[in-house]
Amino acid sequence: MNLNLKEKVIIVTGGAKGIGEGIASQLALEGAFPVIVGRNEDDNLKALETIQAAGGFGFQVQAELSEPAECEKAVRLVMERFGRIHGLVNNAGANDGVGLESGNYERFMASLHKNVIHYYLMAHHCLPALKQSKGSIVNITSKTAETGQGGTSAYAAANGARNALTREWAVELLKYGIRVNALVVAECWTPLYERWIQTLPNPEQTLAEINERIPLGKRMTTAEEIANMVVFLLSDKSSHTTGQMVYVDGGYVHLDRALL
């Protein structure tokens, strides 16, 4: 299917690894120009090399998005390079385990800057360009906002905010023809997830137990499966879809796992 994304400039935060890398790669395969924004320039360049090896084109900006000024810098550099922005994928962040018992004010606020404040700032700074292009925003969010997980208050709060901002922006930006949607991730196998599972006492057993709780196929979602839906939501093939939470999770959140 031609998604009409050829030469569209799409920013992907956290686009060097995991889900973000999958999204950037899939955008490039569709002929778009993905812009990888991340804190580690070496990782950004490695992801770009993969895109280029597959015949695609991309760009990278090194930025520490938990620092507000870096968000403005990232968007400014993209505009200096391309003069246009057609889409924003807010993806950067990590479950940092700041819980109610284990956390404190400083760690909680730092986690919000790492996981949601830059979602707002990136959208704010991209907005003039998105108005011109009638572009699209996709916010990557997590099941933790709905299911809870325990021991991760800050990350759950950030994802609740991501979901709320998706609906709020969809309403506010209707008059500009800008669509805003969220993709909700449950259990997706990424390098970050692998590192976390290896910190547990019985990683292989734990992984098998997690897979068993995923209704469709008893397996984790892949980054490619997430990317395919994100690219669709960015494209004009989803031209009348806005304000939606789209679950690519093998039925994890909404199907009754006790009956499967």
In a domain, residue 43? The reply is: yes
Check whether residue 116 and residue 155 sit in a common domain.
yes
In a domain, residue 170? The reply is: yes
Check whether residue 210 and residue 85 sit in a common domain.
no
| pLDDT at 27 (0 to 100) | 97
Phi and psi for 217 in degrees, rounded to 5? Answer: 85, -5
In a domain, residue 4? The reply is: no
* Strands of the chain, DSSP E: 9-13, 33-38, 59-62, 87-90, 136-142, 179-185, 245-247
Using a cut of 0.85, tell me whether the model's pTM lies above it: yes
Q: What are the angstrom distances between the C-alpha of 82 and each of 4, 7, 20, 58, 160?
A: 18, 10, 21, 11, 33
Is 105 catalytic? The answer is no
Give the pair of three-digit tokens for residue 189. Answer: 């196998």
In a domain, residue 257? The reply is: no
| pLDDT at 237 (0 to 100) | 96
Check whether residue 127 and residue 203 sit in a common domain.
no
Number of domains making up the chain: 2
Cβ atoms 117, 66 nearer than 8 A: yes
Check whether residue 17 and residue 145 sit in a common domain.
yes
| pLDDT at 258 (0 to 100) | 64
| pLDDT at 2 (0 to 100) | 85
Check whether residue 92 and residue 207 sit in a common domain.
no
Cβ atoms 66, 113 nearer than 8 A: yes
| pLDDT at 260 (0 to 100) | 56
In a domain, residue 1? The reply is: no
Check whether residue 113 and residue 195 sit in a common domain.
no
pLDDT string in tens for the chain (260-residue length): 689 999 999 999 999 999 999 999 999 999 999 999 999 999 999 999 999 999 999 999 999 999 999 999 999 999 999 999 999 999 999 888 889 998 899 999 999 999 999 999 999 999 999 999 999 999 999 998 888 888 889 999 999 999 999 999 999 999 999 999 999 998 887 777 778 778 888 888 888 888 888 889 899 999 999 999 999 999 999 999 999 999 999 888 988 766 65
- Specify the long-range contacts of residues 145-149, CB closer than 8 Å, at least 24 apart: 146/184, 146/253, 147/253, 149/95
**Domain range enclosing 68:** 9-186+222-247
Exactly one of 119, 155, 247, 252 is catalytic; name it.
155
| pLDDT at 1 (0 to 100) | 67
